Structure 1
């Protein structure tokens, strides 16, 4: 599932929204995001810079609930079920 992050939507909120949609459950039914990643740090990685050029690249992936979440440039995130991701 591909999810477009809203222009004023915090990344941590987008993650919970996208995973709850992909797993077809209420956001409250998901584990706390802090069990997978530090939400403040995640938001900071993709936050606008105070000075200089804007951030145009960057990708972060992590497992949350029963999904692998990949965030790309604070624009999109993808959610893949862990049971279909090949293991090395």
Structure 2
């Protein structure tokens, strides 16, 4: 992931994307790696990139899935009005 992004950065100044990353706090080295990916992306100051991450307290790899899926859907789907 780090090398792919480094290669992309060599010829791109923009990345039109909204990135949300979630991980359970009990996922060991993956927590540190996810935060490092976030730091690397933010350090590039890509035009059009919005990135947010969250370490989910008390959750493991398997228990985090339902929470991150819910958060992800809430971010990705437009809000519905009460009339719908």
TM-score (norm 2): 0.27
* Structure ID, larger Rg: 2
More helix, by proportion: 2
